[in-house]
């Protein structure tokens, strides 16, 4: 595809249109990938929507411990919809061009929703901490008004920072190439196209990742260290098993999301490899949201019971 560039005032060519290379290195698998990602998208939409519908319809699930997961599954639908429709469009039409404005919009939504996911995972661990470690205070601390305020903060809290970071990145001049070696507009491959030294921008990315990723992750670790200590002091084995079962699914999701995302964003830009970045990004942007409903439903007896009741009513 022809590069679209214009000459800047300082005689440095500036990119006016990007090309998302995506999976162009696999020309013989374009049809298969289109079919595969279509199925994955349907599974994500149906699976996450089903859990949200169940938590709304079943009175037994009208509790704070299911309020935050319901928000989380709505978020997963939005999160996947930022990237997958664009992937499917490129695979089916072979049109990989994307304007800087569209690229910036996609990156901004991706970062804002990723930040919201990080905050929601931290809120879910806090909810479990209060429920297990301070059960007598749970109805007071996690009242409906407080839950709605916390959820709103998770959804909107990262917006100013991530909008500012997106503006900062796209205020750079891009002159090396217009080809983004990725399947969506992400920070590491975009910085590779920037002119000059981008070390200051890399540092700012690390700072933001620490604020919106590492800090919530540390809060999750602190919460679970206290939760595990409390569970181990429970007098009966059945009580310990029940408590662990309510936390294990959340812990697995935390490990999958934070593990793959931290490897992507904490490495220096110079050490990034396109193949590794794509694989890791596929994992936390598509694969994990696809399996999250299964992880939560199969590990939670209340959700399984609600699914059975819904099945019997249909």
Res 309: pLDDT: 76
Quick one: pLDDT at residue 9?
A: 42
Phi, psi of 19 (to 5 degrees): -125, 120
pLDDT at residue 220, as a whole number: 92
C-alpha 152/C-alpha 139 separation (Å) is 19
CB 48 within 8 A of CB 77: yes
pLDDT of residue 107: 96
* Domains by residue range for the chain, with CATH: 16-313 (1.20.1070.10)
Q: How many helices (H) and strands (E) in the chain?
A: 13, 5
CA 35 to chain centre: 23
The beta-strand segments (E) located in the chain are: 5-7, 13-15, 18-20, 97-98, 179-180
Residues 6+ apart with CB under 8 A from 215: none
Locate 191 and state its tokens.
Answer: 């910085």
Strand partners, 14: 6
- Give the C-alpha separation, 172 to 282, whole Å: 27
Note the pTM of the prediction, 2 decimals: 0.86
Can you give the pLDDT at residue 60? 76
Give the pair of three-digit tokens for residue 166.
């997106």
Q: What is the pLDDT of residue 267?
A: 63
Quote the pLDDT of residue 8.
39
DSSP string, 86-115: HHHHHHHH---EE-HHHHHHHHHHHHHHHH
Pick the closest to residue 90 from 27, 34, 32 (CA basis). Answer: 34
Phi and psi of 5, rounded to 5°? -140, 160
Structure tokens that stand for 253 in this block: 């999701």
Ranges in the chain, pLDDT < 70: 1-15, 176, 238-239, 242-243, 245-246, 264-274, 298-299, 314
Tokens of 135: 């059960």
């Amino acid at each position: 595809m022809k590069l679209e560039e214009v000459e800047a005032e300082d005689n440095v060519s500036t990119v006016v249109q990007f090309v998302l290379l995506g999976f162009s290195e696999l020309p013989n698998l374009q049809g298969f990938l289109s079919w595969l990602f279509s199925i994955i998208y349907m599974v994500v939409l149906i699976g996450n929507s089903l859990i949200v519908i169940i938590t709304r319809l079943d009175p037994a699930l009208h509790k704070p411990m299911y309020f935050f997961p319901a928000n989380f599954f709505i978020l997963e639908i939005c999160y996947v919809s930022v990237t997958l429709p664009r992937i499917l469009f490129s695979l089916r039409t072979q049109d990989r061009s994307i304007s800087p404005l569209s690229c910036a919009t996609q990156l901004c939504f991706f970062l804002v929703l990723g930040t919201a996911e990080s905050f929601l995972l931290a809120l879910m661990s806090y909810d479990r901490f209060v429920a297990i470690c301070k059960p007598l205070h749970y109805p007071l601390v996690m009242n409906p008004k407080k839950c709605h305020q916390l959820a709103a903060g998770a959804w909107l809290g990262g917006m100013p920072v991530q909008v500012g970071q997106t503006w900062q990145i796209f205020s750079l001049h891009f002159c090396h190439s217009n080809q983004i070696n990725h399947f969506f507009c992400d920070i590491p491959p975009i910085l590779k196209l920037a002119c000059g030294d981008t070390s200051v921008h890399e540092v700012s990315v690390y700072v933001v990742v620490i604020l919106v990723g590492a800090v919530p992750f540390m809060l999750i670790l602190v919460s679970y260290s206290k939760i595990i200590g409390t569970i181990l002091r429970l007098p009966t084995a059945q009580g310990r098993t029940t408590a662990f079962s309510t936390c294990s699914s959340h812990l697995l999701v935390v490990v999958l999301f934070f593990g793959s995302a931290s490897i992507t964003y904490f490495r220096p830009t110079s050490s990034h490899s396109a193949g590794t970045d794509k694989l890791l990004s596929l994992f936390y942007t598509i694969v994990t949201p696809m399996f999250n409903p299964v992880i939560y439903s199969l590990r939670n007896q209340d959700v399984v019971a609600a699914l059975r009741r819904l099945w019997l009513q249909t």
